[in-house]
Structure 1
Amino acid sequence: MRGPTGGQISDSSRQQATSDFMRPQSPLANVVGFGHGMKWTDGRPTGEQAVVVFVTQKVPESMLPERDVVPQQMDDGTPTDVIAVGHVSAQRHQQQRGQRGVPAQEGSYRGDGNVSEQLAQLSQPMLEELRELGSLEPQTLKRRMRPAPSGISVGNVRVTAGTLGSVVYDFLPGATTDPPGPGLGTPSAFYILSNNHVLADCNRAPQGSAIVQPGVFDGGQDPADRIATLDRFITVQFAPQMPLERQNNIVDAALGKVEFQDATREQYFSGTPRAWRRKSNVAVGDQVKKTGRTTNISFGRIIATDATIDVNYGTAGTARFKDQILTTNISAGGDSGSLVTSPDNVALGLLFAGSTVVTVVNHIENVRALLRVEIAEQLA
């Protein structure tokens, strides 16, 4: 099901979708985002490129006022489709949870029938192939490990728990190419990579604050289980402090400075990222996998790229993210920060949010560029 190349919405369609579907004062009913995807018919992808509009739940067109109906096509002729994704939330572990991936206070969500069920089924062929590999013990990724492999429980002492995505390092001194070529220097520092809301408590944790492995919810204590200290993060802009239409969020990412011997790039049960992929080469239909604190190793497919979507961060507010990847559901609360890769371990993105239907992922190219770190020496 690999999609067409060029996984981006045209500028005119993006402007129209933002102004018509997510207008500041009166967005379309239930709309939480849009992206580049495929048209679906009778619960199956047709392969035709489309602007996919994400809604919390589908409502029969006959029950909607005309102003809330998504047009059959954009002004430039690109067809549209509507997919119910439920309530999309940042996926740090919640102390009280309801259905998988959604905080208990938000209630449950059963999807929209055919399309949601088909999205879940897209990952089944990979799961069948991997059954013979066995399964992980549920508690394995919630315990203390040194050196700490990627994919296990971690978090700032101010939060519950998320996932250690990978070990990264500063761009090599003297590097003149992007990515750096061989023999161009020695990394000056090493970091654990995860989300802002996992390592920096949604912008609120001070620089140098303790990060423990496992996370506090899983029994981690400072200083006994300290693995890193908060070094830097990309600020997330939240509403109501900043209106959604003025936000420019692209990544939810942070770094904790770590000693070389205390953590490793090896993904638990999954191998080391051997390269990273530019966002222009990430396509609808691509297979993906991740290892995370809560759901261990899981597999899925990309259903949308170039996505704009509103994410609920609870008490911190709501944040609108642009230029995101949406996959079938491969995560739950506590998986935030997981590195998402191709089946052959090429890094694609950083998981940070989701629902019972989809998972939302930052492009690794954006994470790498904004934090000025390297995750793998090769570009794939």
Structure 2
Amino acid sequence: MARTPRSASPRKKAGQGSPDEEALRRFIRTRGSEYLRRPNVTSIGIGHKVKGGRDTGQLAIQFTVGRKLEPQRLEAEGLPPLPSNIVIEGLEIPTDVLERRFRPSWELVEPEQLTKDLRKQRLDPVRPGCSIAHERETAGTLGAIVYDLHDGAALGLSNWHVLQGPNGSIGDAVLQPGPFDDNRTERNRVGSLLRSHLGAAGDCAVVRLEERGAASEIIGLGVTPRRVARAALGDAVVKSGRTTGITHGRVTRIEVMVRLDYGGSVGLREIGGFEIGPDKSRPTPEGEISRGGDSGAAWMASDAQGRATDIMLGLHFAGESEGETGEHAIACQAHAALEKLDARLEPPAPEMVRQARGEGFDTGFLQDIVPLPEARGARREDVLVLKNGETVVHHTHFSLSMSRSRKLALWVAWNIDGRALKGFGRKGLDFRIDPEVGVENQLGDELYAGNRLDRGHLARRADLVWGQDAEARQANRDSFYFTNITPQHQSFNQSGAGGLWGELEEAIMEEAEIERLRLSVMAGPLLEEDDPVYRDARIPRAFWKIVAYRDADDGDRLTARAFIMTQENLLDRIETLELDPFRLFRVPVTEVERRTSLDFGTLRLADASRTSPSTQYRRRERHAAAVLEVRSRIGITM
């Protein structure tokens, strides 16, 4: 395809400055689709400009077209010419036009041309490089054994068009070998389709391996994929596919967007990835680096001797159409595919699995680590040790630790994603015993029967109900465990100093610039020896809460605010009658540490206590710098 003349306006030309590869990436992501809509353009990407058949090493925006035509033919067929250069962020970048057509790598050679080798046999355990496909597809390649971030289970990684296809859906049966190689469906079922993606991140899917074991070493390469890297121009790569076996290549274009026809109701789709061309130093016997049936094969980085390393760069999904001159393949970026599929190459640590399920307090929720509280001094002896030897219980979006003597939580810590909150109600949900702790270690319903004592949530139910629907519903249920409940006076739980206690998180979100509307919160009762006794249980008279967030108004700094709700007048420390009204005070984090014997680590350093005068606070001079009474929502954040 011919080009339009070079722009006559003054521009900084390539060679007068180094083009920023990231700027070219941004251009492809934001403008690439415009060019793919032109009838003759099959892909766009970043590569080295080719002159006279030789690689110049100069970065260029490379287009591939179905047919390369002279200007008069373009005009006759109504095809717009492509530019000879493009100005990207002030720098003039040359373009290149190559003749290539791509198709999904699912078309297979004729049966009589095939021999029944190891890759096409039923394997147990299954291994990357073998034949696999959806029950209504033909055959592709198992690329790698990966692991589910949600439960650590072994999964098989391949393409969307191999494991699902236009007529498939999540939960369908996947066969190994694929039906083209052995059509005995019941015998060859290996598992069910778990997740898939077809779009900018690639053509990829994972199958849960339910029927057979899995070995992770790739057939013929002798390596197990353990690391993931982003492909760069010139990288040497090698793959092991169902049809062409082991072939070598070089990365010729990156940030490629290609338009492919997947047929059926799916039709044309734009898929992201990178391009691989032949490695002239390691040619294949038939000159083809991929053929139909190689879809899903993992492209691994290779060393100077052509041996595969354990670094996975991509997942093969398309090759040039039969009869094209030259041979090129397209692969999606491995890191993008794994991210979309919630999978990883190594089995995830138990902590990572727990967080992926939404279980427990996420200490990295605010990017800076917010550690769980640590008991210190004599308080250590009061921490309940569970049967598994742990001292922390994890539920959906919150964690807690129990007081052995009081059978109440010492603390509950939870995360709030304000952008993902759901409006699920509490209808049909009952308070219940926490099975992780044991009935003998928690105060149950017998304490609340026949009286006006309230069951008060420490982690608010509404704070926990966020995320995907199933996750949010589970958090809703988990919030009713008695380990998250504290006996509270009705005046505390129902009125709560004019509602401020229950609205602390909402008030801070409204009054401060919270980065991404994310909060990490901790709360608990202040357990004192002189708390009033009722039915053999001591009823707390005061409660504490610490709210942490990243303050967008203060350089995105980690910020913490601490509060105590009590009947005690913290300003002058005078003794008060038991029926005095509850009052809300903002205090230093160190005051909560002193009164709870808990260590809050980095939250102590992130304390946002301020001393500027305000009509929203009533203060006494000797405590002005430390304790402030909150009378309104505005006072919460000042």
Query: What is the TM-score normalised by the length of structure 2?
Result: 0.44
Matches within 5 A, 1:1-380: 6=21, 9-12=24-27, 15-19=30-34, 21-23=35-37, 27=38, 30-65=40-75, 68-76=80-88, 77-86=92-101, 88-94=102-108, 139-171=117-149, 188-202=152-166, 204-234=167-197, 236=198, 248-259=199-210, 262-279=213-230, 282-315=231-264, 316-322=266-272, 324-328=273-277, 330-343=289-302, 344-356=309-321, 357-376=327-346
Please state how far the C-alpha of 1:18 moved relative to its aligned partner.
3.8
CA displacement at 1:167 relative to structure 2: 0.9
Following the alignment from structure 2 to structure 1, what is the Cα–Cα distance between the partners of residues 171 and 210? 14
Contact 2:154 / 2:209 at 8 angstroms: preserved in 1? Answer: yes
What residue number does 1:111 align with? none
Match for 2:268: what amino acid?
A: T
- Measure the CA separation in 1 of the matches of 2:115 and 2:23: 39
Q: Which runs of 5+ in 1 are unaligned?
A: 98-135, 174-186, 237-247
How far apart are 1:13 and its partner, in Å?
6.4
- Name the structure, 1 or 2, with higher relative contact order (CA <8 Å, separation 6+): 1
Residues 139-190 of structure 1: CA distance to partner in whole angstroms, max 9, x if unpaired? 332122221211111111111111111111123x7xxxxxxxxxxxxx6311
Summarize deviations over 1:248-289 as a string: whole Å, max 9, x none.
53221111111496222110010233433332xx21111111
Separation in 1 of the partners of 2:334 and 2:251? 14
| DSSP 3-state at the match of 2:83 | coil
Aligned mates of 2:270, 2:66 — CA distance in 1: 15
Q: Secondary structure at the match of 2:87?
A: coil
Other structure's SS at 1:366 match: helix
Deviation at 1:213, TM superposition (A): 1.1
Unaligned runs of 5+ in 2: 1-18, 279-288, 303-308, 322-326, 349-638
Secondary structure of 2:203's aligned partner: coil
> Shift of the alpha carbon at 1:68?
2.4
Matched-pair contact (CA < 8 Å) for 2:203–2:271: no
Kept after mapping to 1: 8 A contact 2:134/2:162 = yes
Cα distance in 1, alignment partners of residues 233 and 301 from structure 2: 13
Contact 1:212 1:221 in 2 (8 A): no
Contact 1:309 1:321 in 2 (8 A): yes
Q: For the Cα contact (< 8 Å) 1:274–1:377, is it kept in 2?
A: no
Matched AA of 1:288: V
- d(CA) in 1 for partners of 2:186, 2:196: 22
- Distance change in 2, residues 1:231/1:11 (3 Å): closer
Whose radius of gyration is greater, 1 or 2? 2
Secondary structure in structure 1 of the residue aligned to 2:330? strand
Residue correspondences, number: 302
In structure 2, the CA distance between the partners of 1:95 and 1:270, relative to structure 1 (3 Å rule), is closer
Q: Distance in 2 between matches of 1:91 and 1:47?
A: 29
